[in-house]
Amino acid sequence: MKTVMRRSLDRGSADHGWLKTRYSFSFADYYDPEQMGFGVLRVINDDRIAGGGGFPMHAHRDMEILTYIIEGALEHRDSMGNTGVISAGEIQQMSAGTGVRHSEFNASGEASVHLLQIWIVPDKAGYEPKYDQKDFSARLANSEFVLLASRSGREGSAVIHQDVDLFAVKSKIAGQKTHALGTGRGLWLQVIRGGVTGAGVTLTAGDGLGLTDVDSVDLSWSAGAEFLIFDLAV
């Protein structure tokens, strides 16, 4: 088994006043040639947007973009005509494909919004842009191991153009699970809050752990833990 550790305090950071963010991998003005992603997982940005703040209309292409809301609410608008507000327990999926413009603003003028912005490299360029929004708050509140996004769209997950299964756990109680991995696949564990142990490594909020050359991973977590699991080809 091979491991890649990314402790919270080792991440890149930026403070724009309205936006305070931590970068798990190289992004914008933060560049580290040793931190360019994990397989097709290219970006995990831990963003906190102040009330009234947000990203004005800007362009993307050929990237699968997922937004996972931790606290607060985010208002979305895009050039495809989609509008909406996403809240904690929801995920937003946007395939930028041949090109799309969008804006993301804090839906509140006062309370901050806390989210993870995730970018995944698609399996090919040139897809038709698309947008989706899924609410998993009820299942997450029930401490389930929830599939948020996948290529197949099974279990009601958001469909992405890549062989990645993204799971979330938001558990009121302590728990444990053995997650099996297929041949040639790896796992990235991103902790949002609480304590999580993966393959014997203890992690806390903001920590990330990548695992390859392993058939299965033993996971355990404390009451109140919240984390994401990326099961992907590496």
The full set of domain ranges for the chain reads: 2-233
What's the Cα-to-Cα distance from 158 to each of 133, 146, 179, 198, rounded to whole Å?
7, 12, 21, 25
Residue partners of 34: CB distance under 8 A and separation at least 6: none
Looking at residue 143, what is its pLDDT?
Answer: 94
What's the Cα-to-Cα distance from 59 to each of 77, 79, 103, 139, 208, rounded to whole Å?
12, 9, 9, 33, 28
Looking at residue 66, what is its pLDDT?
Answer: 98
Beta bridge partners of 191: 227
Looking at residue 1, what is its pLDDT?
Answer: 93
Stated pTM of the model: 0.97
What is the architecture of the domain spanning 2-233? Answer: Sandwich (2.60)
Of 222, 27, 52, which is closest to residue 143 (Cα–Cα)? 222
What's the Cα-to-Cα distance from 30 to each of 35, 38, 132, 186, 197, rounded to whole Å?
10, 17, 29, 25, 28
Looking at residue 168, what is its pLDDT?
Answer: 98
Per-residue pLDDT of the chain (234 residues; tens, 9 = 90+): 999 999 999 999 999 999 999 999 999 999 999 999 999 999 999 999 999 999 999 999 999 999 999 999 999 999 999 999 999 999 999 999 999 999 999 999 999 999 999 999 999 999 999 999 999 999 999 999 999 999 999 999 999 999 999 999 999 999 999 999 999 999 999 999 999 999 999 999 999 999 999 999 999 999 999 999 999 998
Query: Phi and psi (nearest 5°) for 9?
Result: -75, -15
Beta bridge partners of 210: 4, 188
Looking at residue 197, what is its pLDDT?
Answer: 98
Instruction: Check residue 149 and report its DSSP letter.
Output: E
Looking at residue 57, what is its pLDDT?
Answer: 96
